[in-house]
Amino acid sequence: MTSTSREVNRNIAENQTERRGKSVKSQRRRMNLITSVCAFFGFLGLFRTEVFAVDAGSRQRAFVQAIELFDAAKTPEQYRESARVLESILADGFQNGAVYYNLGNAYYRAGDYGRAILNYRKAKPYRPRDPYLKANLEQALKAAPGHLAQPPVYWWSHVLFWTDWFSFPTKVRLFFGGMAMAALLTVMSVGFRIPRLPFPIAAILFVAVAIGIDAALYEERITGYHRGVITAETSARKGTGASYEVAFDQPLRDGAEFQILSETADWTLGHFEGVGDGWVRNEFVAR
């Protein structure tokens, strides 16, 4: 073998070694990137778990106490005592379908049908397919002496047809899970140069964004609840004072639901479906 041939072979070997080295480094960078992405989302999940675990024990004890009071109750005032314990859980900023549902049950047994209806409705985003919740709400609506016609459903509930398939927390988990999966597939598509991944990534992103929009709309209904209910018989007025003319021919009674339009320190302006708009004193309103 001539010196020229040996030189060519040595160059080829060096090039192959260099390419293998670059390939190994490239694979390491890809794996490090994927590991970093997975670790990031894992940290988010751990952080979320730690945050929501704060004071979980005290809430659990209060919830158990409320259920025990409910089971032992025999009078309306005893059922209201159970309701007060559940209200204290909500007052701490904790929102949960089980709390709202049992609060509705306590108020129903106490004969406070308006408050029962209100809390059953607040429980629905968390338990959209619960047959017991549906049955109890229907029963409370029938028992409420002031029950009015129901407003039309939101337009987006027809477009986002799956809106009642999942609870609000499930929608949030599906959204973040879909975004995390799309991010991971994007890293794999770029790192490993897989040409067919962009199509499933686009599909996952589309579904995740649609569910995210649905969850955001539901979140507005939960945190910015703009509906109220009458808790005792009262007359609506055309202004914020007893001197104003009565707004409706008939008084409003327990269980009359309405949309809150405006509020002052002592009065609430509401739209009562099929009746009209009127001001009622806040002492007769639950929201």
For residue 161, give the nearest of 131, 190, 128 by alpha carbon: 128
pTM, rounded to two decimals: 0.69
DSSP 236: -
For residue 229, give the nearest of 154, 142, 141 by alpha carbon: 141
Exposure class string for 119-132: b at 16+ Cβ within 10 A, else e: bbbbbbbbbbebee
Query: 52-56, 63-67, 213-217: lowest mean pLDDT where?
Result: 52-56
Q: In what helix (H) or strand (E) does residue 118 lie, and over which residues does it extend?
A: helix 113-123
**Cβ(177)–Cβ(261) below 8 Å:** no
Per domain, the residue ranges of the chain are 156-223, 226-287
Q: Give per-residue pLDDT as tens, 221-269.
A: 555 468 899 999 999 999 999 999 999 999 999 999 999 999 999 999 9
Select, from the ranges 90-99, 177-186, 203-212, 267-276, the one with the highest average predicted confidence (pLDDT). 267-276
For the domain made up of 226-287, give the CATH fold: SH3 type barrels. (2.30.30)
Average pLDDT over residues 204-209: 82
Of 33 and 129, the one with more pLDDT: 129
For residue 256, give the nearest of 277, 282, 240, 232 by alpha carbon: 232
Mean pLDDT across the chain: 80
CA 234 – CA 257 distance, rounded (Å): 13
Q: Which residues contact 248 (CB under 8 A, 6 or more apart)?
A: 235, 236, 272, 275, 276, 278
Average pLDDT over residues 267-286: 96
CA 173 – CA 28 distance, rounded (Å): 31
**Cβ(222)–Cβ(93) below 8 Å:** no
CA 203 – CA 187 distance, rounded (Å): 16
**Cβ(187)–Cβ(37) below 8 Å:** yes
User: From its phi and psi, is residue 276 left (phi > 0), alpha (psi between -120 and 50) or beta?
Assistant: left
